[in-house]
């Protein structure tokens, strides 16, 4: 528990990715089984036990602390678990701090009635950091700034493996992952994946650069539309179906109608979309279905989801990844003709007479409400990660608008001394007065030298400070590039930009000449 609490403690304060990896790597190397496995579970998918932390804490609290002092302390600290950890009376109880494996074992043995007594006993044996870490451990999601992917990366690094190897195995494993660590430490063979549907690391595309385009031979590539949904991998085997996000998170819970219909033995790559009468709906409609805790029947009807497949990694137990794209595509088409489940179709392979023809189609994408084109080398196998020279995404050209810098905030890590996060606005009129309303935020698109210049501007033109945020005199115009504008009820301006970034700093342009909110609203993607 001591090593684990130190790990969590340091992770919460460490912003840099590499430093986090180092801390986790050291932990996974130094900690014995099965404790490190339970720690890995806590940092990734959560513990294999359900613990009603809130209820147990309030039960304990009634007998342990003065409710008035607790309330005042909770207001000061801002987090209940942390308050309990800090306010807990120092008991200097007998007995060692529990190991993570004891915690899991004892809790699964204890009935509902025993939870409070066990937890009290442990809290008495731990120091403040240990108590905090224990409560975070039991809360299910420790929120220490580590993604599941980063934790797996640390395990891979610690034992000299590729993280994709771990991702592949992941969904066939259970905490405390004894089979995984046995393999990593070369005590056993790689765990078998025969029985369960698992995640296969995805092949990702590079943005198409001018020289890629110049060197490209049309006959060597297959072109498809770039669909504006989310990447999904459908992995089905032995009657079980899983839907994985790009990063290997199982998102099947949000899409029960797909899980129900996709009964086959294959691993397929595609795009998750909302499709109504054959028409793809804007991304904002798909967002309505993501990260929902509860799904109503009405949601399922209102936002019908659909998968547009474009690749096959495995069919009927046969691994197709070493085959060239064209061969995999043939197998996919044949399979879909035979099995083609409802809520699915194939992404069309587009034919072009010439590169000029292809380019003309790309130029028309914005008008047609399409995000762009995908160009895939016909001879390429399916390669995990983002290999160079195989798949290209060719996004439609960005839109731009001139906006006025309103607020700036300091960044994190290497940018912590620079104001690098910008809120910008556009002109509107209210009661005959011209005023600026915030229309978006941008954090990127500028060079280090430009960042230093904007930072200087912010410091010299600050009119007010709200904690880490500075309001500046509205006089610096930023040309903002963005992919699209959507209607938004959550923003005061009524619009939301997708992927905004700073494309140019217009030191030359007077703020009065920046764009108006009305101009931006005219760019809203129609919701059809």
Partner 1 sequence: MAFSPPFESWLMPGPSGLHCVPGDFFIDPSGPVPRAVITHGHSDHARAGHGAVLATADTLAIMRLRLGALGQAQALGYGEALKVKDVTVTLVPAGHILGSAQVVIDYNGQRAVISGDYKRHADPTCEPFELVPCDLFVTEATFGLPVYRHEPDMAEVQKLLASLRDFPERTHQIGVYGLGKCQRLIKLIRQAGYERPIWLHGALRAMSDYYVSRGIDLGEVPNAMEAPGKLAGEIVLSPPSALGDRWSRRFADPLAGFASGWMRIRGRVRRRGVELPLIISDHCDWPELIRTVTETGAREVWVTHGREEALVHELGKRQITARALRLVGREDDAE
Which is closer to partner 1, CB of 68 or CB of 277? 68
Query: Least CB distance from residue 79 to partner 1, whole Å?
Result: 7
Q: How far is CA 417 from CA 4, 31, 442, 451, 478, in A?
A: 31, 36, 17, 11, 21
* Distance between first and last Cα of the chain: 55
Q: Which of 15, 32, 48, 256 binds partner 1 (CB under 8 A)?
A: 15
Q: Is 460 in the site for partner 1 (CB under 8 A)?
A: no
Report the SS3 class of residue 113. helix
Q: Is 124 in the site for partner 1 (CB under 8 A)?
A: no
> Hey, which residues are catalytic here?
226
Which stretch, 80-88, 118-126, 181-189, 362-370, contacts partner 1 (CB under 8 A)?
80-88
Q: Is 399 in the site for partner 1 (CB under 8 A)?
A: no
Which is closer to partner 1, CB of 65 or CB of 352? 65
Q: Is 188 in the site for partner 1 (CB under 8 A)?
A: no
Query: Least CB distance from residue 72 to partner 1, whole Å?
Result: 5
Query: Least CB distance from residue 411 to partner 1, whole Å?
Result: 10
Query: Least CB distance from residue 104 to partner 1, whole Å?
Result: 25
State how far the Cα of 527 lies from the Cα of 295, in Å rounded to an integer. Answer: 23
Q: Which of 32, 52, 62, 69 binds partner 1 (CB under 8 A)?
A: 69
Query: Least CB distance from residue 353 to partner 1, whole Å?
Result: 54
Q: Is 22 in the site for partner 1 (CB under 8 A)?
A: yes
Q: How far is CA 425 from CA 35, 269, 515, in A?
A: 51, 40, 9
Q: Is 91 in the site for partner 1 (CB under 8 A)?
A: no
- 130 touches 2 (CB < 8 A): yes
Which is closer to partner 1, CB of 127 or CB of 487? 127
Q: Is 466 in the site for partner 1 (CB under 8 A)?
A: no
Which is closer to partner 1, CB of 69 or CB of 360? 69
Which stretch, 55-63, 67-75, 344-352, 381-389, contacts partner 1 (CB under 8 A)?
67-75
Binding string, residues 344-383; x marks residues near partner 1 by CB under 8 A: ----------------------------------------
Which is closer to partner 1, CB of 287 or CB of 416? 416
Going by the DSSP 8-state scheme, the letter that residue 219 receives in this structure is: G
Which is closer to partner 1, CB of 157 or CB of 487? 157
Tokens matching residue 172? 């066939």
Q: Is 143 in the site for partner 1 (CB under 8 A)?
A: no
Q: Is 128 in the site for partner 1 (CB under 8 A)?
A: yes
Query: Least CB distance from residue 76 to partner 1, whole Å?
Result: 6
Question: Which residues are within 8 A (CB) of 120 and not within 5 positions of it... i.e. 6 or more apart?
Answer: 60, 64
Which is closer to partner 1, CB of 2 or CB of 343? 2
Q: Is 86 in the site for partner 1 (CB under 8 A)?
A: yes
Q: Which of 322, 412, 435, 527 binds partner 1 (CB under 8 A)?
A: 412
Q: Which of 2, 19, 461, 498 binds partner 1 (CB under 8 A)?
A: 19
Q: Is 210 in the site for partner 1 (CB under 8 A)?
A: no
Q: Is 30 in the site for partner 1 (CB under 8 A)?
A: no
Which stretch, 282-290, 326-334, 359-367, 408-416, contacts partner 1 (CB under 8 A)?
408-416
Q: Which of 460, 467, 489, 492 binds partner 1 (CB under 8 A)?
A: 467
Q: Is 527 in the site for partner 1 (CB under 8 A)?
A: no
- Measured in degrees and rounded to the nearest 5, phi and psi for residue 434 equal -85, 130
Which is closer to partner 1, CB of 372 or CB of 411? 411
On the CB side of 284, CA atoms within 13 Å amount to 16
State how far the Cα of 333 lies from the Cα of 192, in Å rounded to an integer. Answer: 29
Helix (H) / strand (E) containing 117: helix 115-125
Q: Which of 4, 11, 14, 517 binds partner 1 (CB under 8 A)?
A: 14
- Measured in degrees and rounded to the nearest 5, phi and psi for residue 392 equal -125, 140
Helix (H) / strand (E) containing 491: none
Q: Is 93 in the site for partner 1 (CB under 8 A)?
A: no
On the CB side of 26, CA atoms within 13 Å amount to 12
Q: Is 213 in the site for partner 1 (CB under 8 A)?
A: no
Q: Which of 359, 410, 504, 506 binds partner 1 (CB under 8 A)?
A: 410
State how far the Cα of 438 lies from the Cα of 494, in Å rounded to an integer. Answer: 10
Going by the DSSP 8-state scheme, the letter that residue 263 receives in this structure is: -
- H helix runs in 78-114, sequence order: 80-87, 100-109
Q: Which of 63, 186, 417, 526 binds partner 1 (CB under 8 A)?
A: 417
- H helix runs in 192-348, sequence order: 210-215, 256-261, 283-287, 297-302, 325-339
Q: Is 66 in the site for partner 1 (CB under 8 A)?
A: yes
State how far the Cα of 301 lies from the Cα of 284, in Å rounded to an integer. Answer: 16
Burial 59-72 (b: 16+ CB within 10 A, else e): ebbeeebeeeebee
Q: Is 62 in the site for partner 1 (CB under 8 A)?
A: no
What is the 3-state secondary structure of 2-70? HHHHHHHHHHHHCCCHHHHHHHHHHHHHHCCCCHHHHHHHHHCCCCCCCCCHHHHHHHHHHHHCCHHHH
- H helix runs in 126-241, sequence order: 128-139, 148-158, 163-170, 178-184, 210-215
Q: Is 448 in the site for partner 1 (CB under 8 A)?
A: no
Which is closer to partner 1, CB of 41 or CB of 85? 85
- 226 touches 362 (CB < 8 A): no
Residues in contact with partner 1 by the rule CB under 8 A: 12-15, 19, 22, 65-66, 68-69, 72-73, 76-79, 82-83, 86-87, 90, 128, 410, 412, 414, 416-417, 467-468
């Amino acid at each position: 528990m001591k090593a684990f609490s130190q790990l969590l403690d340091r992770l919460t304060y460490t912003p840099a990715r590499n430093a986090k990896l180092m801390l986790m790597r050291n932990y996974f190397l130094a900690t014995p089984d099965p404790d490190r496995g339970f720690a890995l579970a806590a940092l990734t998918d959560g513990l294999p036990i359900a613990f009603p932390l809130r209820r147990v804490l309030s039960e304990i609290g009634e007998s342990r602390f003065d409710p008035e002092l607790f309330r005042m302390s909770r207001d000061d600290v801002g987090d209940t678990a942390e308050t309990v950890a800090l306010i807990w009376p120092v008991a200097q109880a007998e007995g060692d701090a529990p190991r993570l494996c004891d915690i899991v074992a004892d809790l699964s043995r204890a009935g509902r009635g025993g939870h409070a007594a066990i937890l009290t006993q442990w809290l008495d044996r731990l120091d403040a950091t240990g108590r905090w870490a224990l409560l975070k451990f039991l809360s299910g999601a420790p929120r220490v700034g580590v993604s599941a992917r980063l934790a797996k990366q640390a395990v891979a690094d610690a034992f000299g493996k590729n993280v994709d190897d771990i991702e592949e195995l992941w969904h066939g494993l259970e905490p405390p992952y004894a089979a995984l660590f046995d393999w990593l430490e070369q005590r056993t063979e790689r765990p078998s994946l025969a029985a369960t549907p698992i995640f296969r690391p995805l092949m990702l595309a590079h943005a198409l650069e001018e020289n890629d385009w110049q060197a490209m031979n049309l006959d060597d590539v297959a072109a498809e539309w770039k669909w504006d949904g989310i990447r999904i991998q459908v992995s089905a085997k032995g009657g079980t179906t899983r839907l994985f996000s790009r990063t290997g998170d199982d998102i099947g819970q949000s899409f029960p109608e797909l899980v129900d219909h996709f009964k086959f033995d294959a691993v397929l790559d595609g795009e998750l979309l909302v499709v109504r009468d054959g028409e793809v709906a804007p991304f904002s409609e798909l967002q309505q279905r993501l990260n929902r805790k509860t799904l109503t029947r009405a949601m399922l009807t209102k936002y019908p989801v659909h998968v547009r497949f474009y690749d096959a990694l495995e069919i009927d137990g046969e691994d197709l990844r070493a085959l060239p794209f064209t061969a995999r595509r043939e197998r996919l088409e044949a399979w879909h003709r035979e099995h083609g489940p409802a809520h699915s179709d194939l992404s069309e392979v587009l034919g072009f007479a010439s590169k000029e023809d292809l380019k003309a189609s790309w130029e028309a994408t914005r008008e047609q409400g399409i995000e762009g084109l995908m160009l895939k080398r016909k001879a390429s196998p399916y390669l995990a990660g983002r290999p160079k020279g195989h798949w290209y995404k060719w996004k439609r050209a960005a839109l731009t608008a001139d906006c006025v810098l309103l607020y700036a905030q300091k960044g994190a890590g290497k940018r912590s001394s620079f104001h690098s996060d910008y809120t910008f606005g556009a002109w509107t009129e209210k009661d005959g007065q011209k005023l600026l309303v915030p229309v978006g935020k941008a954090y990127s698109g500028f060079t280090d030298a430009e960042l230093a210049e904007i930072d200087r501007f912010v410091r010299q033109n600050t009119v007010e400070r709200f904690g880490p945020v500075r309001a500046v005199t509205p006089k610096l115009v930023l040309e903002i590039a963005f992919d699209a504008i959507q209607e938004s009820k959550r923003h005061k301006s009524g619009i939301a930009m997708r992927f905004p970034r700073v494309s140019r700093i217009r030191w030359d342009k007077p703020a009065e000449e920046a764009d108006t909110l009305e101009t931006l609203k005219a760019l809203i993607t129609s919701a059809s």
